[in-house]
């Protein structure tokens, strides 16, 4: 049954979902692509001293290679021992297992329902830290301690961690899901691999972690520039100018 007449606008956050909806028969004229927002003032690159302080506070050894995963990947809001397959925690574990064979990997987790991930990391003997920040400023501080942010999802809308890490000056390696293909130019603003491609993610992570200081600074600067259109001020204005104001004009 065709129900497209029941709505006036459809807002999508990324091209992948937009293409999917077009294939399902949604009218292109009703579709508006506006990214998920991020506060680029709160999430911004740290100074060298801020980074050093953050790593000390989080208890990371100087030689640790810290890989972040801040997305909820367990079922429910309890301990999260049952994994959400769509978030790819099994893929994440497989990637860091390989990286840990050659690098002093430490995993940084935030948020609820991370029991599955913690259990798997513990069994592999990979050190991890788990924080549950109560406010965005404290979450931003967690990004400051990272060397790499890894997204291993099989499906996404964003995720928020993609924009937050790019805004925070953290190199990102992601599966080509959600907004990642829109924001990441492979090996220019981050690293991309296909969903479930463990070897591809490992290789991209190795490449990001092998960058010297100059190359890393160039990549993270380009990544932050790429994510600035996702700043909440820009996103809010676009919602008004491209969705709500036209609808009000049509109704007048």
Percentage of the chain modeled with pLDDT above 90: 90
For the chain, list the domains and their CATH numbers: 4-37+232-251 (no CATH), 48-226 (3.40.50.2000)
Q: Please give the pLDDT value at position 252.
A: 73
pLDDT, mean of residues 118-126 = 97
Q: Please give the pLDDT value at position 230.
A: 97
CB-hemisphere CA count at 13 Å for 231? 14
pTM of the predicted protein model: 0.94
**Over the stretch 150-198, which tens digit does the pLDDT of each residue have?**
999 999 999 999 999 999 999 999 999 999 999 999 999 999 999 999 9
**Over the stretch 25-45, which tens digit does the pLDDT of each residue have?**
888 989 999 999 999 999 999
51 CB burial (10 A radius; 0-12, 13-18, 19+):
middle
Of 144, 117, 148, nearest in space to 130 by CA:
117
Q: What confidence category does residue 224 fall into, taking pLDDT thresholds of 50, 70 and 90?
A: very high
User: How does the average pLDDT of the chain come out, rounded?
Assistant: 95
């Amino acid at each position: 049954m065709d129900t497209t007449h029941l709505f006036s606008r459809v807002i999508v956050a990324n091209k992948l979902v937009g293409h999917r909806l077009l294939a399902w028969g949604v009218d292109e004229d009703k579709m508006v692509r506006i990214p998920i927002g991020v506060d680029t003032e709160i999430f911004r690159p740290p100074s060298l001293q801020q980074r050093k302080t953050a790593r000390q506070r989080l208890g990371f050894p100087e030689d640790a290679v810290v890989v972040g995963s801040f997305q909820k990947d367990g079922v429910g809001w309890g301990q999260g021992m049952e994994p959400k397959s769509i978030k790819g925690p099994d893929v994440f574990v497989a990637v860091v297992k390989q990286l840990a064979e050659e690098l002093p990997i430490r995993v940084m987790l935030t948020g609820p329902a991370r029991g599955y991930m913690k259990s798997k990391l513990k069994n592999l003997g990979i050190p991890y830290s788990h924080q549950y920040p109560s406010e965005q400023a404290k979450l931003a501080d967690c990004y400051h301690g990272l060397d790499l942010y890894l997204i291993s999802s099989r499906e996404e809308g964003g995720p928020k961690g993609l924009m937050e890490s790019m805004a925070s000056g953290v190199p990102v390696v992601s599966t080509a899901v959600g907004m990642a293909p829109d924001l990441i130019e492979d090996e220019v603003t981050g690293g991309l691999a296909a969903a479930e491609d463990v070897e591809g993610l490992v290789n991209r992570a190795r490449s990001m972690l092998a960058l010297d200081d100059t190359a890393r600074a160039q990549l993270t600067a380009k990544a932050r520039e790429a994510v600035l259109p996702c700043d909440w001020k820009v996103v809010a204005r676009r919602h008004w100018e491209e969705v709500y104001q036209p609808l009000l004009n049509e109704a007048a």
